[in-house]
Amino acid sequence: MIPVTQPFLPPKEDYEKKLELIWEKKWLTNNGYYVSNLEKMLESELNVPNLKYVTNGTLALQLAIKALDIQGDIITTPFSFVATTTSILWEKCKPVYVDIDPTTLCINPDKIESAITSNTVAILATHVFGIPCDVEKIEIIAKRHNLKVVYDGAHAFGVTYKGQSIFNYGDISTYSFHATKVFHTVEGGGITCISDELVTKVELLHSFGYFGEDFYLPGINAKATEFHAAMGLCNMKYIKQNLEKRKRISEQYNMMLPKEIQVIHIKENVGYNYAYYPVMFDSEDVLLRVISNLQTKEIQTRRYFYPSLNKLSYITENFDCPISESVSKRILCLPLYVDLDEYIVKEIADIIYSVIEGRN
């Protein structure tokens, strides 16, 4: 079986060595030694002003909305993982979907303004597959209408735009360090805020609103553990080499697959992370045939993202997102992980050609 993704694991001895200090210190959670170390290392590696490491990427999104203290409508993308929407709903705000740009697959900034009403409080957009949103246009719109901007950067670890981290845009950006992501800590997430005031608030909120001897805010428990941070520190050692491997595999796909189904086109001013390898077909019918032909060879793929989030059963209002709905039906993520063999890429390409050319 070829999985669509496979978590990277560092040599077991690396992790075992890290465990020794945990046993020695007997400090397992609550801003421990490894948690602080990982935060500092990520801040310097990614060149972001601050990074609060938390339990997972979904709580990171919820904390971001909570810290901004907003209530009302949040303009968001229909083409993302479901957590982008559920975090809005959990914070008792309303998601308002704006269709995506057909080339970047991120929210279409030119369609945002017509969706803004007096209830709009923020924009929550996803750098989908690690492709940067049009952060500059979004910033102009947000300033003009006095809106907060949150970026779901779950796919965007290590991505740069114009030479700096994509996490330096917006008011808050969130990370996911889940096992399936480019950089992981088994489970985990992170938050980067541009303002110091927000950093302090996120710090408080992630740990019951508690500091010193006082309870300042109604917080939650989103604390990360020493065991998870230790995995992150082990994985950091291999991140450069892993990104290189992902790049190599993606370039092999680029070479072997028909140009017209390729989705990721990296702009000159973007440093990309090769987080996913999506392809898009002419119709859902072709997509389903590709999936089943790959399945017979025990090659797994994932319909990422399907359905378009505005079509979720619990979203009852109608939103006009024809591009997202069409893309969702036709897009497929192919296997991509550091240990994926080159001959599998070739096999996948052959199967896809055979379907497109009507031989299967």
Ligand X SMILES: *Cc1c(COP(=O)(O)O)cnc(C)c1O
User: Does 302 engage in binding with ligand X (CB under 6 A)?
Assistant: no
Q: Tell me, what DSSP letter sits at residue 100?
A: B
User: Does 178 engage in binding with ligand X (CB under 6 A)?
Assistant: yes
User: Does 84 engage in binding with ligand X (CB under 6 A)?
Assistant: yes
Instruction: Tell me if residue 25 is catalytic.
Output: no
Whose Cβ is closer to ligand X: residue 61's or residue 193's?
61
Q: Calculate the alpha carbon distances from 288 to 13, 212, 272, 276, 327 in Å.
A: 43, 56, 29, 19, 14
Give the CB-nearest residue to ligand X. 57
Q: Tell me, what DSSP letter sits at residue 27?
A: -
Q: How many CB atoms sit inside 10 A of residue 40's CB?
A: 11
User: Does 81 engage in binding with ligand X (CB under 6 A)?
Assistant: yes
Whose Cβ is closer to ligand X: residue 84's or residue 235's?
84
Kindly indicate which of the ranges 23-31, 148-156, 164-172, 200-208 contains the residues binding ligand X, using the contact rule CB under 6 A. Answer: 148-156
Kindly indicate which of the ranges 3-11, 67-75, 107-115, 152-160 contains the residues binding ligand X, using the contact rule CB under 6 A. Answer: 152-160
User: Does 85 engage in binding with ligand X (CB under 6 A)?
Assistant: no
Q: Calculate the alpha carbon distances from 316 to 228, 238, 259 in Å.
A: 38, 45, 38
Q: Tell me, what DSSP letter sits at residue 99?
A: P
Least separation, in Å, of the C-beta of 143 and ligand X? 25
DSSP string, 229-264: HHHHHHHHTTHHHHHHHHHHHHHHHHHHS-GGGB--
- Residue ranges of alpha helices (H) inside the chain are 12-25, 33-46, 57-68, 82-90, 135-145, 196-205, 226-236, 239-256, 284-296, 322-330, 342-356
User: Does 58 engage in binding with ligand X (CB under 6 A)?
Assistant: yes
Least separation, in Å, of the C-beta of 266 and ligand X? 19
Catalytic residue among 181, 201, 245, 329: 181
Whose Cβ is closer to ligand X: residue 99's or residue 152's?
152
Whose Cβ is closer to ligand X: residue 155's or residue 289's?
155
Distance, CA of 94 to chain centre: 21
Closest of 39, 36, 14 to residue 27, by C-alpha: 36
User: Does 245 engage in binding with ligand X (CB under 6 A)?
Assistant: no
Least separation, in Å, of the C-beta of 155 and ligand X? 6
Amino acid at the residue 17: K
User: Does 155 engage in binding with ligand X (CB under 6 A)?
Assistant: yes
Report how far residue 129's alpha carbon sits from residue 264's, in angstroms, rounded to the nearest whole number. Answer: 8
User: Does 83 engage in binding with ligand X (CB under 6 A)?
Assistant: yes
With CB under 6 A as the contact rule, the residue among 80, 173, 225, 273 that binds ligand X is 80
Question: If you count DSSP H runs as helices and E runs as strands, how many of each does the chain have, helices first?
Answer: 11, 14
Report how far residue 124's alpha carbon sits from residue 107's, in angstroms, rounded to the nearest whole number. Answer: 9
Kindly indicate which of the ranges 150-158, 220-228, 248-256, 331-339 contains the residues binding ligand X, using the contact rule CB under 6 A. Answer: 150-158
Least separation, in Å, of the C-beta of 59 and ligand X? 7
- Interactions with ligand X, residue window 194-223 (CB under 6 A): none
Structural tokens at position 27:
């400090």
Least separation, in Å, of the C-beta of 177 and ligand X? 7
Whose Cβ is closer to ligand X: residue 56's or residue 108's?
56
With CB under 6 A as the contact rule, the residue among 85, 104, 176, 192 that binds ligand X is 176
Structural tokens at position 349:
């390409």
With CB under 6 A as the contact rule, the residue among 132, 189, 190, 219 that binds ligand X is 189
Closest of 142, 121, 348, 359 to residue 253, by C-alpha: 348
Residues that are catalytic: 181
Q: Which residues bind ligand X (CB under 6 A)?
A: 56-58, 80-81, 83-84, 126, 152, 154-155, 176, 178, 189
